Structure 1
Amino acid sequence: MSDNISKTKIKTIGSHIKNSSLSQDDLSVFSEWRSSHAILTRELAKTLKIKRKKKNDKQFIISRRLKRQPSIFAKLTRFPNMQLNTMQDIGGVRIILKNQKEVYTLSDELNILCGSNKKAMFVLKKPINDYIQKPKEDGYRSIHHVYSYSGSSKKKEFLKGMFIELQIRTQIQHIWATTLEIFDIKNESSLKIGEGNQEHREFFKLCSLILSFIDKTTTEIEKTNFVLEEVYDKLVTLNNKYNILGLLRGLNVSINHIDKKNKNDFFILELDYSTSKLNITIPNSEEDAKYIYAGREQDIRLRNESKEVVLVSGENMKAIEKAYPNYFLDAKKFIAYISDFLKKDGVIWKAIKG
């Protein structure tokens, strides 16, 4: 990114997005500025990977992405006081770990590494958002860190002060979050941002509560207020009414043939809602990836196509499938857990009853 793109310029572009006066020049600058966050996500992912390998952890998954243009525009519209130049999740890194203990251990380590070390490349913004101790209203559970870049490299001087977000979650929390996104995609709803049918939201909130018992992340307040048969009856009623598990069970995507031996770690995933086709592009370079991604986003927006495109990064295609099951419409694990609960005699009932 050119170092002459000022925060004031980005703030102005944000205002243009809000009042629908975005010019082509604005869009070009926006795309360049957003793309620059990929440098930061790569550095943070590298740090996380080193830490996990030192622990000999082979089960972690690290992925990174640039926030989609429609999501950025919608967020600016949804929150009138938010400014584009201070949005904290334009660049995002996600690490998925085995359990709650691993999640909190890593969070504490990063707090020490980036919270008080003045020479750290990333400075951790306080307070940390702990959505495990205090789940969101919809049932979302994870720990979120926000960092600002403070590296000393003169070549990256223009990145100073930029924000990126790190999500640290367990495997089960990841299953729940991505299944919610799958439901939104196929039901054309907005549960992820707190909108949509109230009973759909209630179903997934209850499912989050049920899964937390397996994950051992249920809060004390939740345990105190939990009535097993009552939760069971509500889930059965909601599932019978809306056939949510049936909808999720019937989903699958057709995927274009790709060379899985390709060693580039950037992938462009483009999901066509209307046909359930997933097109995966593996660009030749990071620069090509950013160019193709921005172009496809603009095409989809101008043509008003029922598609979603995202630029993601992971070690290989297998890691991408695990990190982004929502783009593959894969809710198998979620369905297995909730179906087990509805049978009344499986693993979850035993976990709840202790």
Structure 2
Amino acid sequence: MKYSRKQITKAGEKLLTSKSQDEIDEALVLINDWRTSHLFPLVTLKNSLLRLLTKVKIEPILVSQRLKRLTSIEYKLDMNPTMGLGGMQDIGGYRCVVKDVKDLKKLDKALAEQRIAHKLEKIVDYAQKPKHSGYRSIHFVYKYSSKKENYDGLKLELQIRTKLQHNWATAVETAGIITKTSLKSNQGPDEWLNFFKVVSSLFAIKEKLPVMDEHLVLSMEDLMVKVYNYCQELNILPKLKAIRVSTNKIETENIAGDYYLLNINIIKKIVIINTFKKNQFEIASNEYLRLEKSINENENAVVLVAAASIKTLKKAYPSYFLDTSEFIQSIEKMNTNSQRLNLVN
């Protein structure tokens, strides 16, 4: 790697604790340079994944990649003070969403058996054993191997999940904007946290996966009633519908690029998109950092991602467009069934 893990960790500590703006700016330059170095390995591993998907005959719903946002880095460091930035394994992340659990298990097996030059350091199966928040996915952590010093030893994380699990995760991130908390990290109002846990178990029943431990004694009907009641009490669905960012004009403009820098204004419900070619990734990364330093976290979200088009970008990261339409459809169907079966008054 271009920097040692000790250097990176020290920069992360300065970012969180230094009272000197010059020190913070110096740390940000180093962190951004290190973050940018993950782009090339990400492309390499994503292409390896695409070849594997073809080999095992899995048609993915989507495959995407992104660099971790500065606000997410700071939050994770704050929540895990003993970890250190040098130990963070998802600065460069890529994702594959598949149709169902059958494809998920098939891909999980293929990845575990795949022989590549890069070391598979860890597999964590949150699909079978969800996080306390209800989050489900399978994570693969790789240590990149390269003759080029800048890339050798970098850690990257692959997440694979079903479409239903992806819809759940998208809704949690979007709802976090409504509650102004990190629901995905199990932080926030208990009612909202409990709602998503119940939905996680209901989705698990549909996918024939284990429910959350706290729901083992409840029937599917009990869980459906809980979802219905939470929706009524918290006005959840109208709130999710109300903050969606309109992208109709953007999608018809056919904006082409390899990297997309999104600046989403949550208050005005608009998104500004800058596009960059592959050979402009350093320019894109520097602009990413500039925007991150200038935004109001409660009003804006900025992220740099790679995608084939705006449509695939929106499909891969609906949470960045505050789009929970598929999740809402699932919940509305549950609520309708609850009423039809006379489970609620």
RMSD: 2.4
Letter in 1 for 2:112: N
CA contact (8 A) 1:186 1:273 kept: no
Label 1:171 to 1:304 Cα distance change in 2 as closer, same or farther (>3 A): closer
CA contact (8 A) 1:184 1:192 kept: yes
CA contact (8 A) 2:200 2:211 kept: no
CA contact (8 A) 2:96 2:159 kept: yes
Residue matched to 2:237: 245
1:163 to 155, 159, 171: 155
1:123 aligns to 2:123 (yes or no): no
Deviations 1:22-59 (A, max 9, x none): 43222111110111011111111111111223345444
Deviations 1:298-352 (A, max 9, x none): 222xx666211000112222211111111222111111111111112799x9xxx
Of 168-177 and 22-31, the range deviating more from structure 2 = 22-31
Q: Which runs of 5+ in 1 are unaligned?
A: 115-119, 350-354
State the alpha-carbon separation in 1 of the partners of residues 233 and 253 from structure 2: 41
CA contact (8 A) 2:262 2:274 kept: yes
CA contact (8 A) 2:243 2:266 kept: no
CA contact (8 A) 1:260 1:316 kept: no
SS of 2:272's partner is strand
State the alpha-carbon separation in 2 of the partners of residues 258 and 322 from structure 1: 12
Q: Which runs of 5+ in 2 are unaligned?
A: none
Residue matched to 1:139: 134
Q: Where does 1:248-287 land on structure 2 (aligned, <5 Å)?
A: 248-255=240-247, 257=250, 261-284=254-277, 285-287=280-282
CA contact (8 A) 2:144 2:151 kept: yes
Structure-2-length-normalised TM-score: 0.89
State the alpha-carbon separation in 1 of the partners of residues 212 and 191 from structure 2: 25
SS of 1:282's partner is strand
Q: Where does 1:32-181 land on structure 2 (aligned, <5 Å)?
A: 32-114=33-115, 120-126=116-122, 128-151=123-146, 154=147, 156-181=148-173
SS of 1:175's partner is helix
CA contact (8 A) 1:278 1:327 kept: no
Residue 135 of structure 1 and its aligned partner are, at CA, apart by: 0.9
1:195 to 175, 187, 192: 187
SS of 2:18's partner is coil
State the alpha-carbon separation in 2 of the partners of residues 51 and 315 from structure 1: 19
Of 13-22 and 288-297, the range deviating more from structure 2 = 13-22
Label 1:304 to 1:75 Cα distance change in 2 as closer, same or farther (>3 A): closer
1:8 to 6, 9, 16: 6
SS of 1:23's partner is helix
Structure-1-length-normalised TM-score: 0.87
1:231 to 220, 223, 232: 223
CA contact (8 A) 2:18 2:24 kept: no
Letter in 1 for 2:103: E
CA contact (8 A) 1:149 1:159 kept: yes
State the alpha-carbon separation in 1 of the partners of residues 212 and 304 from structure 2: 39
1:296 aligns to 2:291 (yes or no): yes
- Between the two proteins, the alignment pairs up a number of residues equal to 335
Of 235-244 and 215-224, the range deviating more from structure 2 = 215-224
State the alpha-carbon separation in 1 of the partners of residues 310 and 210 from structure 2: 33
